[in-house]
Structure 1
Amino acid sequence: MSEQHQLLSTRQAATLLGVSVRTIQLWVEQGLLSAWKTPGGHRRIVQESLLGLLHKRQKSPPLTHLLCVDLDADFFKLIQALCKQWHFPIELKYARNAVEALLMMGEHKPELVMMMADQPGIDLPMLLNELTQHQVKLALLCAEDPEPKLSIDIIWLHLPFDPSQFKAELQKLLFARLQQAS
């Protein structure tokens, strides 16, 4: 994600959080939001700090739900630790296999499903089609380059795992959800 996309004006931040521009300015002055000033004196809010503040202040359900399917238990713990460290307003769930994932999705639809790309017995184009119809994004962990015909609609997370790539993708998803909510 480029530096330009990681920053928000005070007005954009205020709109997303449903508060006044002055409240955003005060939160910056109090150190609750990270920001810097342009040469013209305008504040630019760091998106990550806005997500962190939202997480700390949030009394309502998480902004996004992530379902991890058939991932190694230690890898899932890493994902949990990263999301907690980044203070993202996200709820993580773990399914041991595809059947359990389907049952969990019936109870509560996630916004993102994350799994290994080489799942045996999974018809990837059909899975992608079904998830897309239900407005669920798919993130696949893969050591090789993705299939070109599928790469547009899938979030490809390369192995070895790069936390910064995962963080950038989660930020995009969270901000899309935040904009939908405002």
Structure 2
Amino acid sequence: MDQLYTTHDISRLLQVDPSTVSKWIDRGILLAFRTPGGHRRVRGSDLRSFLIAHQMPLPDELGSPMVKILVVDDEKPVLDGMRRAFKAHGAEVDLTTTSSGVEALLLVSELKPHGMLIDLNMPDMDGFEVCRRIRARKPLEGVRLITMTGRHTPELVEQSLRDGAVACLPKPIDVGILLELFRVPLALGKKATG
């Protein structure tokens, strides 16, 4: 089970005032829930996602700075290319890939990734439907969704955004832009390899 943190726990970890943590929660920037007694509680995974998204240092207690990304595309060469591209950029990424929209819906609950890159055109379930189903699940609202397509049109971009994605990128994907959208820190001192 995910460790729970109080606003005071978080303020000590991040060296900020407890009222700052409360403001983040009240503004919806940091996901939290209230106990029956009205006290705020934050899941460790939500705190970690918040820190990564805002490019804040991760305290040792919260684990490694690896960002989890799930890539969904029915084309094996695209998935293989993504693995190579992330590695070449020296990105601190825990990358999982799947070729099925249905499998992605099962994996996202298990993996709890920080972000997903979803192809719009897949045979079993298109990327729009994957986005809608993920956005319908309250525990997954913090997952950053980015779609991709070989037929990049304003209409597809608009529908992607309407269905919950933060961006829709044309194929082939520019990994530099993708890393920026996922707010992934590059590994310091790591050289890019071809």
Structure 2 length as normaliser, TM-score?
0.49
The alignment partner of 2:77 has SS state of helix
Question: 2: CA distance between counterparts of 1:92 and 1:141?
Answer: 17
Distance 1:127 1:161, change over 3 A: closer
2:158 aligned with 1:148: yes
Deviation at 1:85, TM superposition (A): 2.3
Residue 115 of structure 1, CA deviation: 2.3
Amino acid at match of 1:163: V
Determine what percentage of the aligned residue pairs are the same residue: 18
After TM superposition, give the deviation of residue 93 of structure 1 in Å. 0.6
CA distance 1:160–1:127, shift in 2 (3 Å): closer
Q: Secondary structure at the match of 2:158?
A: coil
Matched to 1:142, the amino acid is T
Q: Which residue of 2 aligns with 1:158?
A: 170
Residue 60 of structure 1 pairs with residue 63 of structure 2: yes
1:157 is displaced (CA, Å) by 1.5
Range with bigger deviation, 122-131 or 65-74: 122-131
Cα RMSD after superposing both structures: 3.5
Q: Match of 1:15?
A: none
Using the alignment, how far apart are the partners of 2:63 and 2:124 within structure 1?
38
SS at match of 2:105: helix
Q: Which runs of 5+ in 1 are unaligned?
A: 1-17, 19-50, 176-182
Whole-angstrom CA distance in 2 between matches of 1:168 and 1:100: 26
Partner Cα distance (1:124, 1:68) in 2: 11
Stretches of structure 2 lacking an aligned partner (at least 5 in a row): 1-13, 15-54, 186-194
Scaled by the length of structure 1, the TM-score of the pair is: 0.52
Deviations 1:46-92 (A, max 9, x none): xxxxx9xx8xxxx9345321111234222222212222222222100
Query: How much has 1:160 moved relative to structure 2?
Result: 3.3
Please give the alpha-carbon distance, in whole angstroms, between the structure 1 residues aligned to 2:74 and 2:121: 12
1:116 paired with 2:119, answer yes
- Aligned equivalents of 2:89 and 2:114: distance in 1? 18
Counterpart-to-counterpart distance in 2, 1:73 and 1:121: 15
